[in-house]
């Protein structure tokens, strides 16, 4: 008797990945259409400022002089130069083009960040996993993404720059340096990536970032002349003195003080407190720096408690083994969180950068290691949602209520990352085939668990040959 063999079943993963990819594109398309509708009503957000600055560069005028009906241009001249191709177009047409570019930047950042974090945490970066993580992170950060697309700011480009910095850090250090240099020449705080890379012995990436930053700062001189470019750079940097209330140099860019009511950062919260108490303006910045130092000290304690390497890392080529790859992904999310939390001027729309810690949260939730309780990740995701969504009245507007005045969005985001850091460090202690024998029962967050995935959107794919209790 001949027994016929049934044909092998095809995996449903490609179809599920396609469905989730469509869902991700639909979400971004919905946000795009809403922002485009706003542009059609002649509300182009901050883009009119950038287009006018680009036209000023083209026509030999001072971009920092300001124009009636637009915000003041405060960045170095590079971004105005990048906008020059749009200077000749009508405002609405140019805004439509920039909106499309910003949406593409956000989509690329979501996908590349998801792939980078998955790879660094030793999880298969399959199409299903990448689009699943990207879609979940987009849902978490939907409100700041919406605000950024409607506001037509520079944060989408900054998000992509940080993403490419992480993605290329080991693959192409020179390209990583270029991506980060673009961010540094738009907003200055990304320069903190250089000392971080030096601390992690990424010499090539740190050197490339420094060299590209100088080169991009001088690039506009090819179009506007050496003397004019240096003068504009001095005007842009000179405006930073106003952050501490020291006042800006004559003709410098008009940068808001750290105590401005629209800023939601922890540093701005302390600056407003110092101003209310009659303390010197610099006191708020000092308190913000002290708070950042306390957070750093707690991170040191977390590393030492788990006996993970904090300072003494091997050369970059030797960092392919555990736990270094995972730690870079965790710390990169922390770098972005710290910039948002302790910047002297963080607006609601800047929170689109929280896509990076949101991806880390989704990965830790979707692919929990055996022996780690999933409950803290739930707390972190909820806290992050509170930071990015509340208050609803802040969507697309500057909110001056007590929630923003006390910097609660950044406090919540910082608290969420603190939980993710502890979960991530515990994950670094566990091999893909199970917990080591010397791992304390329950670690910091209670007894071990058979950790089921928190976000039931997609079925996680098990590692080949691995024994992950969470994925059975």
Least trusted range by pLDDT, from 8-17, 133-142, 183-192, 405-414: 8-17
Mean pLDDT of 33-45: 93
Contacts of 403 (CB under 8 A, 6+ apart): 390, 391, 394, 409
The whole-angstrom separation of Cα 17 and Cα 126 is: 9
Confidence of residue 30 (pLDDT cuts 50, 70, 90): very high
pLDDT of residue 436: 40
pLDDT of residue 10: 53
Is the predicted pLDDT of residue 5 greater than 50, yes or no? no
Mean pLDDT of 217-240: 91
Mean pLDDT of 308-332: 89
pLDDT of residue 88: 92
Nearest to 140 by CA among 394, 448, 353, 423: 353
Do 275 and 259 contact (CB within 8 A), yes or no? yes
What would the pLDDT profile of 321-345 be if each residue is shown by its tens digit? 778 999 999 999 999 999 999 999 9
pLDDT of residue 69: 57
Mean pLDDT of 106-126: 95
Give 296 or 393, the one with higher predicted confidence: 296
pLDDT of residue 244: 63
Confidence of residue 447 (pLDDT cuts 50, 70, 90): very low
Is the predicted pLDDT of residue 359 greater than 90, yes or no? yes
Give 71 or 342, the one with higher predicted confidence: 342
Percent of the chain with pLDDT over 90: 62
| Distance spanning both ends of the chain, measured CA to CA | 37
Is the predicted pLDDT of residue 314 greater than 70, yes or no? yes
Mean pLDDT of 242-248: 63
Nearest to 144 by CA among 314, 395, 356: 395
Tokens of 344: 């002297």
Nearest to 161 by CA among 137, 185, 142, 145: 185
Is the predicted pLDDT of residue 248 greater than 60, yes or no? no
Mean pLDDT, the chain, as a whole number? 84
> CA distances (Å), 377 to each of 118, 131, 322, 372, 455, in order?
16, 20, 22, 10, 10
pLDDT of residue 423: 93
Is the predicted pLDDT of residue 138 greater than 80, yes or no? yes
Confidence of residue 452 (pLDDT cuts 50, 70, 90): very low
What would the pLDDT profile of 388-419 be if each residue is shown by its tens digit? 987 654 444 444 578 888 899 999 999 999 99
Tokens of 109: 């950042």
């Amino acid at each position: 008797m001949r027994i016929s063999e049934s044909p092998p079943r095809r995996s449903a993963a490609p179809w599920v990945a396609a469905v989730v990819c469509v869902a991700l594109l639909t979400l971004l398309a919905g946000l795009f259409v809403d922002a485009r509708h706003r542009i059609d009503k002649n509300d182009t957000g901050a883009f009119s400022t950038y287009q006018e600055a680009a036209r000023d560069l083209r026509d030999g005028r001072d971009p920092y002089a300001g124009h009636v009906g637009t915000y003041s241009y405060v960045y170095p001249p590079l971004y105005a130069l990048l906008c020059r191709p749009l200077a000749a177009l009508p405002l609405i047409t140019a805004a439509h083009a920039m909106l499309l570019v910003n949406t593409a930047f956000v989509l690329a950042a979501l996908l590349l960040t998801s792939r980078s974090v998955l790879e660094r945490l030793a999880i298969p970066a399959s199409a299903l996993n990448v689009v699943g993580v990207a879609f979940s992170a987009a849902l978490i950060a939907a409100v700041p993404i919406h605000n950024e697309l409607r506001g037509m700011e520079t944060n989408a480009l900054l998000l992509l720059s940080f993403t490419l910095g992480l993605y290329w850090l080991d693959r192409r250090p020179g390209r990583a340096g270029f991506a980060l240099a673009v961010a540094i020449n738009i907003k200055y705080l990304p320069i903190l990536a250089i000392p971080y890379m030096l601390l992690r012995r990424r010499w090539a990436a740190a050197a490339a970032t420094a060299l590209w930053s100088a080169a991009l700062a001088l690039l506009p001189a090819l179009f506007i002349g050496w003397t004019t470019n240096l003068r504009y750079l001095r005007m842009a940097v000179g405006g930073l003195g106003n952050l501490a209330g020291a006042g800006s140099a004559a003709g410098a860019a008009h940068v808001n003080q750290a105590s401005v009511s629209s800023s939601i950062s922890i540093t701005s919260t302390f600056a407003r407190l110092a101003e209310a108490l009659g303390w010197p303006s610099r006191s708020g910045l000092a308190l913000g720096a002290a708070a950042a130092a306390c957070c750093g000290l707690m991170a040191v304690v977390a590393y030492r408690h788990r006996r993970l390497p904090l300072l003494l890392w091997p050369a970059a080529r030797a960092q392919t083994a555990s736990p270094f790859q995972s730690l870079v992904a965790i710390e990169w999310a922390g770098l972005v969180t710290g910039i948002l939390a302790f910047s002297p001027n963080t607006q609601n729309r800047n929170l689109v950068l929280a896509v990076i810690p949101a991806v880390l949260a989704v990965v830790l939730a979707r692919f929990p290691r055996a022996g780690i309780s999933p409950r803290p990740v739930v707390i972190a995701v909820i806290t992050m949602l509170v930071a990015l969504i509340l208050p609803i009245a802040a969507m697309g507007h500057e909110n001056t209520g007590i929630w923003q005045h006390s910097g609660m969005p950044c406090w919540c985001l910082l608290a969420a990352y603190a939980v993710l850091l502890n979960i991530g460090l515990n994950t670094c202690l566990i091999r893909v085939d199970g917990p080591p024998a010397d791992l304390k029962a329950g670690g910091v967050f209670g007894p071990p668990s058979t950790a089921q995935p928190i976000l039931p959107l997609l079925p996680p794919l098990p590692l080949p040959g691995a024994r992950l209790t969470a994925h059975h």
